A and B are shown apart, each in its own frame.
Chain A
Amino acid sequence: MAGNEVNILRAFYEGVAGLASAYRITLKHLFRKPITEQYPEYKRPLPARSRARIILTRDADGDERCVACFLCSAVCPVSCISMESGEREDGRRYAQWFRINFARCIYCGFCEEACPTLAIQLTPDFEFCQRDILKLVYEKEDLLVDHGGKNAEYDFYKHAGVAVKGDKGTHYQEAAPVNIKTNLP
């Protein structure tokens, strides 16, 4: 009987001590400095690869990278990209007009993944909401920028899309041809 009472007392003490420690911890947090970043005053620097407003980039020579292949338009899950293709005198394709409806865009980044020429890219700039929904329809002149975006040096036409003039292994970044006979024992 005596042992039982001691047990009850100990359980009571432990219960109260447990509650008190919980209250103590929350009270300690009351006097801590809040870790909130207050958005409009403080803008957190976003990673370069965060996905927001879409741009059309140019290659190192200043030419438009987009070749109007329709891959971005095809892969877009909400069908917010539309364009019409054209061809220049030198045979290179380009977009006659290019339109992204940002009111529908879900910023999934599939277009960026699909683009063979790295023309279409997503940028960290997300602050471009509008009261008027039609103002969110961006035309080519709104999308086209004067820089190369994330991979400024890349030029699709150095790799592909043009006729190979030289011999095997002479093309840009092409590996030298392997002599298949050297593998023989």
Chain B
Amino acid sequence: MWFLGFVLLLLKTAIVLTILLGLAAYLILVERKLLGRFQIRFGPNRAGPFGIWQPIADGIKMILKEDTIPQGADRVVFKYAPAVVATVAILIAAVIPFSRDAILWGYDIPMVISDLNVGLLYVLALSSLSVYGVALGGWASNSKYSLLGGIRGAAQMVSYELPLGLSLVPVVMLAGSFSLVDIVNAQACYPFVVVQPIAFVIFLIAAVAESKRLPFDLPEAENELNAGYHTEFSGMRFALYFIGEYVHMMVLGALVAVFFLGGWRGPWLPPVVWLVLKALMVPFFLIWTRATLPRLRYDQLMHFGWKLLIPIALLNILATGAVMLWLRG
């Protein structure tokens, strides 16, 4: 029996990984195409029709590239830092429920790799861990640009971790559980974005900062720091940072869907399609933002996080609690 469960787990993991990495790879193409169209260009359109082979070509190129390690770099840390970013981003996908429970031959199969009862804390913990990849990668490169990028990344992600966590407290209060499956089930009548628009906005902004995207891309600010913390990385290690960033975008999209948009719930279409559609809304918004907004100054970034987002998130928790108490009578 345990063997069957093991096989099932492996099967689910394989499917989720394939879909997640495939989506992330094609998200790169979608981003380049969309950015092109935003700037009245075509974007990549040479590799196959509409450039559909572009991610594969890029992947092959990345694998075949020389793997350079700069002189004076901390070799061990330098080698493992990119893996941290990618691994952590992929691991978050383990707790995202992607469909209602399936019933096969009388067995109840939960459509989530792992229904942790502290799923939300697991997500936040992993989200914080990815800063290690950035900070260590920046430090290990033995380059001032990388170091500056790494330090900025660490400071920024620590600052935006707080509003990210605080904006989810009302969600937990409403759902009464840390489990992502329970949170989705609690949104059976209406998605939480209806009652928690402020938390939704705060989570979205903090998520943008977490995924180091414009206007919060100070750790990799191209025109100040070359490429920030991954300046010195090349070949597959650079690709790992890249994959990590795009998987992070997809996962954050899925998390926004789970926490605020009702997860896989939706009429007519199959649940998985609903989840993917909802999850893709966030990357699209991020790309749109990238085409629209300029980068924040560093003090503005800190000011915005500490003096605006955190107080509003705290007030939101207070108001949610008060309303819940009042409704209960």
Interface on A for B, CB 8 Å cutoff? Answer: 19, 22-23, 25-27, 29-30, 32-36, 38
User: In the complex, which residues of chain A have a beta carbon less than 8 angstroms from the beta carbon of B42?
Assistant: 34, 36, 38
Contact with A along B261-295 (1 / 0, CB 8 A): 00000000000000000000000000011011100
Complex CA–CA separation, A26 to B37 (angstroms): 10
User: In the complex, which residues of chain B have a beta carbon less than 8 angstroms from the beta carbon of A27?
Assistant: 288
Given known pairs A23-B288, A26-B288, A27-B288, the reply for A32 and B40 (CB within 8 Å) is: yes
Given known pairs A36-B42, A38-B42, the reply for A30 and B292 (CB within 8 Å) is: no
Complex CA–CA separation, A163 to B289 (angstroms): 75
User: In the complex, which residues of chain A have a beta carbon less than 8 angstroms from the beta carbon of B288?
Assistant: 23, 26-27
| B41 interface contact, C-beta 8 A | yes
User: In the complex, which residues of chain A have a beta carbon less than 8 angstroms from the beta carbon of B41?
Assistant: 34-36
CB-CB nearest 5 A-B residue pairs? A26-B292, A26-B291, A34-B42, A22-B292, A36-B42
| B300 interface contact, C-beta 8 A | no
Contact with A along B221-253 (1 / 0, CB 8 A): 000000000000000000000000000000000
Q: Pick the residue among A23, A34, A35, A36 that contacts B292 (CB under 8 A).
A: A23
Q: Is B38 touching A29 in the complex (CB atoms < 8 A)?
A: yes
Q: Is A29 touching B293 in the complex (CB atoms < 8 A)?
A: no
Least CB separation from B43: chain A residue = A34
| Interchain nearest-CB distance for A100 vs B (Å) | 32
User: In the complex, which residues of chain B have a beta carbon less than 8 angstroms from the beta carbon of A22?
Assistant: 292-293
Complex CA–CA separation, A33 to B41 (angstroms): 8
| B172 interface contact, C-beta 8 A | no
Q: Is A30 touching B293 in the complex (CB atoms < 8 A)?
A: no
Q: Is B38 touching A26 in the complex (CB atoms < 8 A)?
A: yes
Q: Is A34 touching B37 in the complex (CB atoms < 8 A)?
A: yes
| Interchain nearest-CB distance for B264 vs A (Å) | 28
User: In the complex, which residues of chain B have a beta carbon less than 8 angstroms from the beta carbon of A29?
Assistant: 37-40, 291
Q: Is A34 touching B40 in the complex (CB atoms < 8 A)?
A: yes
| B62 interface contact, C-beta 8 A | no
| B36 interface contact, C-beta 8 A | yes
State which residues 40-63 of B face A: CB under 8 Å: 40-42, 45
| B69 interface contact, C-beta 8 A | no
| B23 interface contact, C-beta 8 A | no
Given contacts A23-B292, A26-B291, 4 further A-B contacts (CB under 8 A): A29-B38, A36-B41, A38-B42, A38-B45
